[in-house]
A and B are shown apart, each in its own frame.
Chain A
């Protein structure tokens, strides 16, 4: 579904993404790594929010690089960004109306409210009056309403209470059944391995290793090397 090959991104002199290659089919893939390794840059470059200096990003064989973000979104990639980035001036309902593609689409406003009943209760509240978990639900609902083929999520569990993270994991696990691809960027190893069968580890702007989740969970030395933590402290 998504094929990233040799993706290069520079910030001025800094070579932030160095030939990143990653491929994703129907099964969700997680990208893990410590802070500052280039994970958010990867999300933004794939989405077309940052210019790439080389490489290729193909969705279903179609080249995405060089397109403005709105055309990448129209092609079927949706982003749930780090920090949620809900619009402070818009209410919950207005967020959903903004992106809704009408009644015939698979994801409708009603369906988002069914998936996240909490959002329905808060439909008249402004974006900044929501709790972190509610903002995250809104960011996910907003992304799903574009009826994407692939969702990129950048640290969705960041700063959320464990019970909300559990609900989040449930929602993410349901996506493949909908035929929606998922690229999950996480620092929380528990969430990443719960949702995805395959984990790619990012170190200094490169994919250092790609392995099955079970293999990473069994290998404490690798966890310490790539994340600086052991599973005991996570999730």
Chain B
């Protein structure tokens, strides 16, 4: 493999990792605070992508320059609102009953998939990135590389930094971290933990929606990708450690790069690599790379 090809493969891996991180960090946050294994997390990705597209398409047809940005805003908002509704109407009442919540969210994911199919049909869709981030950029060694993919990595880095700032520096962040440690004690200090939970659900779901629009710009979105992103999110947070944002970043990079390197070196068996990583982590460090023992 030449140096330029190797670098391109790694960059492709990082691009994929960026998308996985965007989707999985919401999953990880929600699990960390509420112990809810949100099996409908892939559906939030789909909702973001499809609702975003529904807003984007007519604007794009009219040649409006901000069509894509409007799609992002709509996708994030739709996923966040849906996530909040899920928590407020269904999951909040079963706080602490993990199995019941998992079953309910599986039910939600089936309903959402069918409704999206009914409304948007089975054809795949793809956003067109705005001119500023379209085309390709000349990179040293790797040569020309799609600008949008670099943008995608940039967005993930920004989101990661913003989340770190939120958790480390703000009062909401303090509440989230304290809630991950001891929900009951946090409540006894006068904090309305259900309200904090709603905020975390809005944040986590909104990030999944952002992932949906970004992902559907990089490659077409179609019915069924929700399962793929749910599965990947699970693998990423199991590898990185449930509830840890830096852990999620490490998990996303490992899984994303492994997938791309695997596809370049041994395409037929590349899927095995992802699960080999997961099996190795579970065998050596069951709580995940940066996870705390339960």
Interface residues of A (CB under 8 A from B): 47-49, 68-70, 72-74, 78-79, 81, 85, 87-90, 94, 97-99, 142-143, 146
Interface residues of B (CB under 8 A from A): 171, 174-175, 177-178, 180-182, 184-193, 292
List 15 A–B pairs whose Cβ atoms lie within 8 Å, in order of A's numbering: A68-B187, A69-B188, A72-B188, A73-B189, A73-B190, A87-B177, A89-B181, A90-B177, A90-B181, A97-B174, A98-B175, A98-B178, A99-B189, A146-B189, A146-B190
Say how far A43's CB is from chain B's closest CB, in angstroms: 10
A85 to B191 CA separation, bound complex (whole angstroms) = 15
Residues of B within 8 A of A78 (CB): 189
A88 to B182 CA separation, bound complex (whole angstroms) = 9
Q: Determine the residue in chain A with the shortest Cβ distance to B190.
A: A73
CB contact between B188 and one of A49, A87, A90, A98 (< 8 Å): that residue: A49
Contact B184 A70 (CB under 8 A): no
Say how far A116's CB is from chain B's closest CB, in angstroms: 18
Say how far A164's CB is from chain B's closest CB, in angstroms: 22
Known: A98-B171, A98-B175. A69 touches B180 (CB 8 A): no
Q: Which has the most chain A C-beta neighbours within 10 Å: B177, B178, B180, B191?
A: B178
Q: Determine the residue in chain A with the shortest Cβ distance to B167.
A: A89
Q: Determine the residue in chain A with the shortest Cβ distance to B194.
A: A68
Residues of A within 8 A of B187 (CB): 49, 68-70, 73
Contact B181 A70 (CB under 8 A): no
Say how far B242's CB is from chain A's closest CB, in angstroms: 14
Known: A94-B174, A97-B174, A98-B178. A87 touches B190 (CB 8 A): no
Residues of B within 8 A of A90 (CB): 174, 177-178, 181
A94 to B177 CA separation, bound complex (whole angstroms) = 10
Say how far A108's CB is from chain B's closest CB, in angstroms: 16
Contact A70 B185 (CB under 8 A): no
Known: A70-B188, A81-B185. A89 touches B180 (CB 8 A): yes
Across the A-B interface, the 10 shortest Cβ-Cβ residue pairs = A73-B190, A87-B181, A69-B187, A98-B174, A89-B177, A87-B178, A85-B185, A69-B188, A70-B187, A79-B188
Say how far A65's CB is from chain B's closest CB, in angstroms: 15
A32 to B191 CA separation, bound complex (whole angstroms) = 30
Q: Which has the most chain B C-beta neighbours within 10 Å: A47, A99, A146?
A: A99
A199 to B133 CA separation, bound complex (whole angstroms) = 73
A68 to B186 CA separation, bound complex (whole angstroms) = 12
Contact A98 B184 (CB under 8 A): no
Known: A49-B184, A69-B184, A87-B182. A99 touches B177 (CB 8 A): no
Say how far B245's CB is from chain A's closest CB, in angstroms: 12
Residues of A within 8 A of B178 (CB): 87, 89-90, 98
Known: A97-B171, A97-B174, A98-B174. A142 touches B181 (CB 8 A): no
A137 to B182 CA separation, bound complex (whole angstroms) = 18
Residues of B within 8 A of A146 (CB): 189-190
Contact A70 B193 (CB under 8 A): yes
Say how far B290's CB is from chain A's closest CB, in angstroms: 12
A73 to B188 CA separation, bound complex (whole angstroms) = 6
A61 to B158 CA separation, bound complex (whole angstroms) = 52
